[in-house]
C-alpha cells in the first residue's frame, strides 16, 4: 500500500506549515485547505509560503471548514486529516468532525492539539478555561468513533528557546532574565520541524491509533533554571535573575479578561505548574520508543546559533 494522502488544515499557521512540509518531504501526497481570501491578494510573506508549498509538490485546495461543500470536496481526495487550526477557531473542528463522519472513509484524524495534554492541566480556573475548547473537541472526537491520534508536542522550541521566553526580544538576553515562579518546573522543548516530522510519521502507524502521541526527547526536558544555566555557560557569565512569585501570577490570571488571559495561562501551565511532565498511561504512546532512531534538535544546539 502507498502512503496515505494527507490533508493539512491550518497549513499557513505557525505549526501547520511545518506539518505540511514534513508530509511532502516524507513522500505523502499532500493537500492543504486554504481560504480563497488567503490566495486572492496575499502579502509577500504569505505568497512566499504558498510558493514554497507549491515547490514542495503540495496541492493547494480552496475552501474553509465553515463551508460544508468545500470541506467535503477536500475530504474526498484524502485518507488522513491533520488539523492545525488556531486556538481562536478550535471549536470549528466540530464542523470538521461532522464532515469526516459524513464522508465515512477517513482513516485517521489528528485534531489541533500540539501542546500540553489539555486533560491533565493544573486545576487553576483560568488555565482550565483556556483549554476547555480542546477538551470539548476531544470528547466529540471520541464519541464520533472517528479513528484519531492526539499529538502532545509540548513547548515549541524554536519559538521559546531563542529568547528564553522573554517578551520583546529576538535573541537570548545577555544581562538579565525574568523567571516565572521558582523556575524549577520541568518543560519539554521540541523543535517545530521535529514536531512536524513525528506527527506525519504517526499517521500510518497502528501503534498510535486512538492514542496520544507524546513527544518527549529526554535531553530537552529542562527546568527554566536549567535552560538559563545552559545559556550562561555558553556566554561565560551569569545573568541577573528576577522572579515573579506564583501567587502574583495566579492573581494576574484571575484578573485578566479573555482572550488576553490565553497566553499567560499557557505560560503558567508550562513554567509554573509543570503540566508537560506527567506520568504516562496506557493511552499514551511515546515517540522516543516508537521511532528510536530519530534525532531531535537539542536546546543546546538551538542556543549555539546565538553565541
pLDDT of residue 42: 66
| Residue positions annotated with a catalytic role | 134
pLDDT of residue 1: 61
State the Cα–Cα distance between residues 87 and 68, nearest whole angstrom. 21
* Burial class of residue 51 (count of CB atoms within 10 Å of its CB; 0-12, 13-18, 19+): exposed
In angstroms and rounded to an integer, the radius of gyration of the C-alpha atoms of the chain is 20
- DSSP state letters, 104-173: ----EEE-S--SS-TTSS-S-HHHHHHHHHHHHHHHHHHHHT--BEEEE--EEHHHHGGGTT-TT-SS--
pLDDT of residue 2: 82
State the Cα–Cα distance between residues 150 and 113, nearest whole angstrom. 7
Asked if 189 and 222 count as a contact pair (C-beta separation under 8 A), the reply is yes
pLDDT of residue 36: 83
Q: What is the pLDDT along the chain (307 residues), one digit of tens a residue?
A: 689 999 999 999 999 999 999 999 999 999 999 988 766 666 788 889 999 999 999 999 999 999 999 999 999 999 999 999 998 899 999 999 999 999 999 999 999 999 999 999 999 999 999 999 999 999 999 999 999 999 999 999 999 999 999 989 999 999 999 999 999 999 999 999 999 999 999 999 999 999 999 999 999 999 999 999 999 999 999 999 999 999 999 999 999 998 899 999 999 999 999 999 999 999 999 999 999 999 999 999 999 999 9
**Intra-chain end-to-end CA distance of the chain, in Å:** 47
pLDDT of residue 43: 79
pLDDT of residue 39: 62
Show the cell assigned to 203: 499517521
Question: Residue 199 half-sphere exposure, CB side, CA atoms within 13 Å?
Answer: 38
The pTM score is: 0.96
Q: Which of 15, 9, 11, 20 is nearest to 200 (CA)?
A: 20
Amino acid at each position: 500500500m502507498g502512503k496515505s494522502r494527507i490533508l493539512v488544515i491550518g497549513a499557513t499557521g505557525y505549526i501547520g506549515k511545518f506539518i505540511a512540509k514534513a508530509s511532502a518531504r516524507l513522500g505523502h501526497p499532500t493537500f492543504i485547505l486554504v481560504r480563497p481570501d488567503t490566495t486572492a491578494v496575499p502579502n509577500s510573506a504569505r505568497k512566499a509560503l504558498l510558493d514554497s508549498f507549491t515547490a514542495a509538490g503540495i496541492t493547494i485546495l480552496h475552501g474553509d471548514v465553515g463551508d460544508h461543500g468545500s470541506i467535503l470536496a477536500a475530504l474526498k481526495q484524502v485518507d488522513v486529516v491533520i488539523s492545525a487550526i488556531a486556538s481562536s477557531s478550535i471549536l470549528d473542528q466540530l464542523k470538521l468532525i461532522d464532515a469526516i463522519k459524513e464522508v465515512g472513509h477517513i482513516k485517521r484524524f489528528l485534531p489541533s492539539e500540539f501542546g500540553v495534554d489539555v486533560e491533565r492541566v493544573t486545576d487553576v480556573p483560568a488555565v482550565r478555561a483556556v483549554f476547555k475548547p480542546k477538551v470539548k473537541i476531544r470528547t466529540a472526537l471520541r464519541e464520533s468513533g472517528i479513528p484519531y491520534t492526539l499529538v502532545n508536542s509540548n513547548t515549541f522550541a524554536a519559538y521559546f528557546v531563542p529568547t528564553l521566553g522573554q517578551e520583546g526580544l529576538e535573541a537570548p538576553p545577555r544581562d538579565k532574565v525574568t523567571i516565572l515562579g521558582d523556575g524549577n518546573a520541568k518543560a519539554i522543548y521540541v523543535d517545530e520541524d521535529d514536531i512536524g516530522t513525528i506527527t506525519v510519521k504517526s499517521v500510518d502507524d497502528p501503534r498510535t491509533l486512538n492514542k496520544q502521541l507524546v513527544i518527549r526527547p529526554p535531553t530537552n526536558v529542562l527546568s527554566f533554571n536549567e535552560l538559563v544555566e545552559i545559556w550562561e555557560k555558553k556566554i561565560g557569565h551569569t545573568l541577573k535573575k528576577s522572579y515573579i512569585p506564583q501567587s502574583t501570577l495566579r492573581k494576574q490570571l484571575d484578573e485578566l479578561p479573555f482572550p488576553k488571559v490565553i497566553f499567560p495561562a499557557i505560560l503558567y501551565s508550562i513554567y509554573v505548574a509543570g503540566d508537560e511532565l506527567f506520568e504516562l498511561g496506557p493511552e499514551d504512546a511515546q515517540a522516543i520508543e516508537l521511532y528510536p532512531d530519530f534525532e531531535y534538535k537539542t536546546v543546546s544546539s538551538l542556543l549555539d546559533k546565538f553565541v
